[in-house]
Amino acid sequence: MSKGNDRKRINVDLGSPALYRALKFAAVERNVPARQIVVEALQEWLERNHLLTESAREREDGR
């Protein structure tokens, strides 16, 4: 993770109350923040589409 307070935020319209409820339910069920689920899903999507480079992942991990 990056040092200091340089985390970035975005607002996302999920477009579906059902999707929002499913996200919140999954977070409670797994005892993790909804943010963690969203970040992991976004990272996986970017990796699958070859849009997240190894060097970007290393910078985020503090390597």
Asked if residue 14 is part of any domain, the answer here is no
**26/60: higher pLDDT:** 26
pLDDT reported for residue 1: 47
Is 59 within the bounds of a domain?
Answer: yes
Asked if residues 14 and 23 have their Cβ atoms less than 8 Å apart, the reply is yes
SS3 63: coil
Does residue 43 lie in a domain region? yes
Domains in the chain, number: 1
Q: When comparing pLDDT for 22 and 56, which is higher?
A: 22
Distance CA(43)–CA(57), nearest Å, equals: 9
Residue 42 domain flag: yes
Q: Considering the entire predicted model, what is its pTM?
A: 0.71
Per-residue model confidence as pLDDT tens digits over 24-56: 999 999 999 999 999 999 999 999 998 887 666
Q: Is 38 exposed, middle or buried (0-12, 13-18, 19+ CB in 10 A)?
A: middle
What domain range includes position 40?
A: 33-63
4: left (phi over 0), alpha (psi -120 to 50) or beta: left
The answer to whether position 6 is within a domain reads no
